[in-house]
Amino acid sequence: MIGILNIRMCIVIIDLEATCWEDDRRLERMEIIEIGAVKLEGKSLKTINEFSSFVRPISEPKLSGFCKELTTIQQCDVDKADDFKTVFERFLDWIGSVSYSIASWGEYDIKQLATDCKRHNIHFPQKFKTKHINLKKLFASQRKIRPCGMAAALKMLGIPLEGRHHRGIDDAGNIARIAQVILPNACLQA
């Protein structure tokens, strides 16, 4: 085990929003409608850059009322957005050629990215799986508690939630603020 904090790498915090319905949460039905990400410099964990883009769903392009209320993403936002393939290529370009690890609050985001890559016949970067940091699990382990939601973790740390919960870019920023507290104490494989 070696320390995760490395000047030559970045931590890319991602948070996705996807089509959803009050009574159906199957990944294979859901499609990404927003990718939010924050890039942290590896050693200092300072924010370097942000990525935010809506994504136009193709299988079920009409957003449910539940989805619009939960995320505040409106039909016009996704109607005028690029498709997943285009946005995902931009996202990978934004990450760039630097060494990086992907981090998210739990496993959902990585699984949904893999599902959408498969749906669109896009190669899913193996590094997303092998270099993934599950911050939810890490936080619970460090605190010796059961895994909890991002908002609850922020509250435990005394960090106010910024922006709108269930918006990709806002949640990615909030998760990055948690990462800045817990990663210095973590020993993970780099």
Is residue 34 flagged as an active site residue?
no
What is the pLDDT, as a whole number, of residue 28? 85
Question: What totals of helices (H) and strands (E) does the chain contain, helices first?
Answer: 8, 7
What is the predicted pLDDT for the residue at 186?
80
60 counts as catalytic = no
Which candidate in 34, 60, 69, 166 is catalytic? Answer: 166
Domain ranges of the chain: 2-185
Q: Are 114 and 122 in contact (CB under 8 A)?
A: no
pLDDT given for residue 6 in this prediction: 58
Give the CATH fold of the 2-185 domain.
Nucleotidyltransferase; domain 5 (3.30.420)
In terms of pTM, does the model score above 0.85? yes
Sequence letter at residue 104: S
Q: Which residue in the list 17, 28, 41, 69 is annotated as catalytic? A: 17
Which SS3 state, helix, strand or coil, does residue 58 take? coil
pLDDT score of 187? 59
Contacts of 60 (CB under 8 A, 6+ apart): 19, 29, 31
